[in-house]
Structure formats: structure tokens, C-alpha cells
Amino acid sequence: MEAKNYTEFSEFFLLGLSEDPEMQPILFGLFLSMYLVTVLGNLLIILVVSSDAHLHTPMYFFLSNLSFVDICFTSTTIPKMTVNILTHSRVISYGGCLTQMSLALLFVCVDDMLLTVMAYDRFVAICHPLHYTVIMKPRHCALLVLMSWFVISLATLVHLLLTMRLTFSLGTEIPHFFCDLPQLLKVASSDTFINNICLHVSTVLLGVFPVTGILFSYSKIVSSLMSMSSTAGKNKAFSTCGSHLCVVCLFYGTGVGVYLSSAVTPSSRGSSIASVMYTVVTPLLNPFVYSLRNKDVKGALGRVLSRAAS
């Protein structure tokens, strides 16, 4: 019997991380607190970068954009999850699910592109310091960010249009705490061959290529640092690259962990638990990584706090 398309008036059910009633208050408090810390921490980074003239450089321009995207990314998934826990409801509308899927995909891929752009910025600064101010002009930096948004928006639009072609049964359950594209494809009633092909192509283009670019940039950076005779210059270069490398490892490490967990374990619930790392934990830790490991940010933060206290 041919499946009927109920998507125009259907609702999905997000199963979340746990169905245990005793776990719900713990999950609510944990994720609400993590969300508030993430938003406040990244807002503080944006405030510090915008208010301190010493940080008006390409590196911190990209960092403030990364913080903005992290706020948007967590705001796409966590508030809905906490509201569902609080109201004891797992329902999300068809339109709300597609919107959440599109925004989550958009922000995580822009995050990916920004990390690649930041690696390129460090490559130019260390390997071509005499041409840095010419190559990384404010106009060029803004263009790199705008191009990242434009390319990812087009890719997201393609996935959205392809997903809108799919049919879903009434009361479809999604074994996740948000509408993740791979999970939506698994629960669809219609053929998802084209969607999966597009997803794999996007993963290669927006995953493998950026990683390759980052690895290439840092291979050149390491080669340049090895040829430096000044110890002070090496330490300064390592200091500026250390924070970015930590964030890159967090982002890609947790992302790879999600895909490995979904490949090794047949349970979708295990994959959703693993995805908490890159959807919640990584945006939470980014401000701490940059504020604790970066002397410029710590100094600017101290100046902002002292002005606020006076």
C-alpha cells in the first residue's frame, strides 16, 4: 500500500536523551545551565573584542563571528529541548522541525568554515608576515565571512528543498533531542536515495576539504616555526595558534565521535548522546579556551571588567 503524505499537518516527536522521568529534572537543570553559560561566555567574547581596540585585528574579528555562530547554534537546539522537558511534551511541528534542521545545519557548517578561515589567517600571519596587512585587509576578512555564509546558505537550502519532498507518517518519532538531518532521513516514509547522496557530497565538500585546508595551513606553520631562530617569536606564534588548535580539535574530535558512535552502535539514542558534545559542550568550552589560553583576551577582559567596576 502506498504511503500517504501527512507532512502538511503532521507533528514529530523528539524522544530526547532519556525517557526516565527521574532524569528529566536533572537534564533540564544541566542543559539550561550549560546554555546560559554558553550564551554569556560567547557574548562576553564579542563584547571584549568589540570594545578593546587592541583586539581589532582579523584573528579576533573571526573569533567574534565564531562566538556569534556558537550562540545561534545552541539557541537552535537547547531552548526547545528544555521547554519540552519542562512541559513534559515531546512534540515539534513539521514546520518547526524543518526550521530547526535547517538552522542547525547552517550554523554548524558556518562554524566549520570559520575555523578554516581562522587557520588561513594564522598561516598568512606566520608564514607571510610582511604581506599580512595587505592580504588580510578588513574588506577581505568581511568578504571571507560573507562568502562562508553565502555558500553554506545555498547548501542548506538544497537540503531543505530535498527534505520537503519527503513524506512522513503521522506521529513519527525522532530518536534525538533535535531535528538532525541524518535522523530525519532515517524516519522518512519515502525514498531518500537522492537526499543521502547529497548529504554525503556535502560532508565531503564541507568536511573533508576544510580539514585538508586546516592541516595544510598548520603544516606550513610548523615548517615556518622550525626555521625560526628566535625563541620569543616561536612562543608568540604557538600562543596565537594554540587556542585555535584546541577549538579545532574539540569541534572535529566531537564530530568524528558522533559519526563513529552511530556507525559502531546501532542505537540512535547512543548517537544523540554523543552529539551533545559538538552541539552543547564545544560551544560551551570555546570562550574558556580562548580566554584562558590567550594573553591578549585575558588582558582585554581585565580592562573591560575594571572599567565596568569603576
Per-residue confidence at 2, pLDDT binned at 50, 70, 90?
very low
Do 248 and 117 touch, CB atoms closer than 8 A? no
CATH level 3 topology of 11-309: Rhopdopsin 7-helix transmembrane proteins (1.20.1070)
Per-residue confidence at 258, pLDDT binned at 50, 70, 90?
low
* Full DSSP string of 219-242: HHHHHHHHT---HHHHHHHHHHHH
**Counting Cβ atoms within 10 Å, is residue 135 exposed (0-12), middle (13-18) or buried (19+)?**
middle
At residue 104, does pLDDT exceed 50? yes
State how far the Cα of 6 lies from the Cα of 168, in Å rounded to an integer: 6
The model carries a pTM of: 0.89
**Average pLDDT of the chain, as a whole number:** 85
Enumerate the β-bridge partners of residue 93: 11
Maximum mean pLDDT: which of 101-115, 233-247, 264-278: 101-115
State how far the Cα of 33 lies from the Cα of 26, in Å rounded to an integer: 11
**Counting Cβ atoms within 10 Å, is residue 151 exposed (0-12), middle (13-18) or buried (19+)?**
middle
At residue 95, does pLDDT exceed 70? yes
The domain ranges of the chain are 11-309
Q: Give the model confidence (pLDDT) of 55-74 as tens digits.
A: 889 999 999 999 999 999 99
Do 73 and 278 touch, CB atoms closer than 8 A? no
Q: Give the model confidence (pLDDT) of 138-155 as tens digits.
A: 999 999 999 999 999 999
Please give the average per-residue pLDDT across 207-228, as a whole number. 88
Do 244 and 119 touch, CB atoms closer than 8 A? yes
Please give the average per-residue pLDDT across 210-226, as a whole number. 90
Say what the pLDDT of residue 82 is: 93
Say what the pLDDT of residue 231 is: 72
Say what the pLDDT of residue 3 is: 45
Per-residue confidence at 213, pLDDT binned at 50, 70, 90?
very high
At residue 217, does pLDDT exceed 80? yes
Do 118 and 215 touch, CB atoms closer than 8 A? no
At residue 99, does pLDDT exceed 80? yes
Please give the average per-residue pLDDT across 270-289, as a whole number. 80
Please give the average per-residue pLDDT across 95-101, as a whole number. 94
Percentage of the chain modeled with pLDDT above 70: 88
